[in-house]
Chain A
């Protein structure tokens, strides 16, 4: 294990809107910081069109991520990318973090690890990932031009995926576990009206099959089972928090980190912000605001030490 000997003022885990905003606020307070992240932008980078981030009437997720990065660069913030933490703990009043082959120490930390797509957990899903199984319609829809695809899910993210595919794919099956689609009316109407969409309610995916690439899925409706010929499977059944690292941090039933309104976790000096927390409403602008709040809390905590 490579030990970074430095004791940072603040380690920020994650570089989505929460982590990046925390970084900018902390840098402006002249704190010595390091950002450890899987991917810059987080879910924002995978978002399609964004029309509710104040200051931008319309911006794509990709463009907003670029703006975030540009802003972060202005302050010379160091980001260690493609790095995921495996453990966070407190020892002798110092926060210790293990990430891959590295270990880090800091006086404070902010967990802003966000959320990721919930897996379907059916046979074939892992095997065919990127071989027909996709989790991001914004990114991958163009690859399925003229092909038959299935969208799994019945909420807004499934409907948005379907909406993107309507213009590109040949036929789109929406495989929904519930009795009805339950996304926003405005988008549901568009999806239902599309001629190339087949909605299958109360239907469950049992297996994803194929050779080198996906060629079909097996679905079940009550006692009936069917095999649908599809080349793409878009899994859109919600999100799970990225909190698998080892820690004594208290989480709720959904695995989200429980925080106070000052973004404190149960461990003093360790804060959390954004989608990974139990804060109500998961929005880019809310995550950014929470990131700012967490950085200011960490700064005040340090000042009191």
Chain B
């Protein structure tokens, strides 16, 4: 089972849809709400080299945005 971490904010529509997609496919994930948490923002920026949400970490592979084909490929769904 892959370790999946989602960096998100409550107000970003792609974050909500990404998490919905993971749930629909019965993928368990850790959600990190970076809202007003500079340490978590820094962690996300360090991992992805950019500041947009969502970012997904799938066993160390970083996907920026709700890139459905890429995420599906990494998770085999």
Contact = CB atoms under 8 A, between A and B. Distances in A.
Interface of A: 39-41, 45-46, 48, 60-62, 65-66, 82, 130-132, 134, 138-143, 145-146, 168, 212-213, 232
B36 A130 contact: no
A185 to B, nearest CB: 26
A145 B51 contact: no
B11 A142 contact: yes
Nearest to B67: A82
Contacts of B41: 143, 145
A45 B13 contact: yes
Contacts of B52: 130, 134, 140
Nearest first, the 6 A-B pairs at minimum CB distance are A130-B52, A45-B13, A142-B35, A139-B12, A145-B36, A130-B50
Given A131-B51, A143-B9, A212-B49, 19 more contacts: A45-B13, A48-B11, A65-B13, A82-B68, A130-B51, A131-B49, A131-B50, A134-B51, A139-B12, A140-B51, A142-B10, A142-B35, A143-B51, A143-B53, A145-B37, A145-B41, A168-B36, A213-B50, A213-B51
Contacts of B36: 142, 145, 168
23 contacts: A45-B13, A48-B11, A60-B11, A62-B16, A82-B68, A130-B51, A131-B50, A131-B51, A134-B52, A139-B12, A140-B9, A140-B12, A142-B11, A142-B35, A142-B36, A143-B34, A143-B41, A143-B53, A145-B38, A146-B38, A212-B49, A213-B45, A213-B50
Contacts of B50: 130-131, 213
Given A131-B51, A212-B49, A142 B34 contact: yes
Interface of B is mostly: loop
Interface residues of B, number: 21
Contacts of A138: 11
A140 B38 CA distance: 13
Contacts of B16: 62, 66
A143 B39 CA distance: 10
Contacts of A45: 13
Given A145-B37, A145-B41, A139 B51 contact: no
A61 B14 CA distance: 12
Interface in B11-25: 11-13, 16-17
A151 to B, nearest CB: 16
Contact of A61 (B13, B35, B49): B13
A210 to B, nearest CB: 11
A47 to B, nearest CB: 10
B13 A41 contact: yes
Given A46-B13, A61-B13, A139 B37 contact: no
A40 B38 CA distance: 30
Contacts of A46: 13
Contacts of A39: 13
B14 to A, nearest CB: 8
B23 to A, nearest CB: 14
Interface string B41-77: 1000100011111000000000010001000000000
A71 B44 CA distance: 35
Given A142-B35, A143-B34, A62 B51 contact: no
Contacts of A48: 11
Contact of B9 (A60, A130, A139): A139
